[in-house]
Each structure stands twice: as C-alpha cells, then as structure tokens.
Amino acid sequence: MKSASLVNENFVVLIPGGSVLSASMKLQELIKSNINIKDERLFPEIHITIDRIKKERTKEAIEIIEKITNEFPKISIALNDFSCYHLSQDKFLVLNINKTNSLSKYAKKIHQELYMKNITTINNYDEWNFHITILSNLFSRRSISDEEFNDICKLFSDLASPCVADIDRVDIWKPTLKPDKKLIYSYLWEE
C-alpha cells in the first residue's frame, strides 16, 4: 500500500462515539501525563480512515457516500489491541479495529463504488487496516525520540482496551491540522 499523498488526496473518515471515543481520548491523556509530551500535533483527532479520494473528485465522492450511508444502519466498531509502527522518522501508536460485519460491509461498499468511478486512490483495499491513530509525529514540531517512543509502546504493550461503540459520523477531510479548514463534508447518523 503506497503512502497517502497529502497534496492530491482527501480522506473519508469515520468518527466514533461512545466508549471508543472516550477510551481513545483517555489514552492520549495518559501519554501526555506519563511521558510528559506537550506537542498537541502529536495527538490526531480521533478517527478511522476508510478511504482516500482524489481531491478533484470530492463532490462525486460526497454523492456516493451520502447515497450509501442513507441505506445503512449505524455501524458498530470494536477496539482490538495496540500496534507501534516506526517507519523511518515517522512513529505511530495505533488502536487496531476489529472488522465487524457492519464496518466491513459499509467500508467495502463505499470503496467499491469509489473504485468503479475511479475516485479512490487505493488499489488494493484488501490490505487496508482499520485503526485509530492515538499518537503520530507526522505533523509534529519535533520528532519523538526513540527512547520516548519505546517507553510509550511499553506503557501500552499489556494494556487491553476492548470496547464496542457506534460510529457517530462519516466525514471527508482535507489533510490539514487546521480545524477550521479540515472538514469538507459530514454526515451525522441518526439514532
């Protein structure tokens, strides 16, 4: 799977609610307090990316996502375990998401429609892993040292965090950290 192109792509993301959102935010706070990391850019907004789309085709993607989402009941997700990734200078702590039946069906349907219309930038969706990034130095002002990152990974190695919750929204985001510039589209699932 090739890396995202922040210049050419937007992102289709799910925003969890309930216990998944609160558990994810608590984990970020745990890192801040135990490792003494102050750079807020290290802690992304809680979300699950389900696809990447060509920026110039965003309007078409919105129509597809809205149509499909209107047909689906709320999606449930389940947290699984943690993974630490150290790719070159980039470091990530992620919560892995179990592929629930509702998540798998919804994400696959969205991807298939985007793929048929040549809107998605993901060619091999079978390799896609659902996760929530808890910590990433991708946009930070400073890199996380190897020692800090190892301490964080050790802190979470035995910490299980199983919980289940519904998805509250599906959004399309620009790849920016500026909250007032990020949101392109949002669909709030009704109760």
The tens digit of pLDDT for each residue in 141-165 reads 667 788 888 888 887 776 666 788 9
> What is the CATH classification number for the domain harbouring 147?
3.90.1140.10
In-domain check, residue 133: yes
Count of domains for the chain: 1
In-domain check, residue 177: yes
Closest to 174 measured CA to CA, from 56, 67, 93: 56
Whole-model pTM? 0.91
In-domain check, residue 1: no
Per-residue model confidence (pLDDT) at position 136 = 86
In-domain check, residue 108: yes
Per-residue model confidence (pLDDT) at position 30 = 83
Predicted confidence (pLDDT) per residue in 95-113, tens digit: 889 888 999 999 999 999 9
User: Which range of residues forms the domain containing residue 75?
Assistant: 9-188
In-domain check, residue 3: no
In-domain check, residue 172: yes
What does the radius of gyration of the chain's CA atoms come to, in whole angstroms? 16
Report the share of the chain in percent with pLDDT over 90.
44
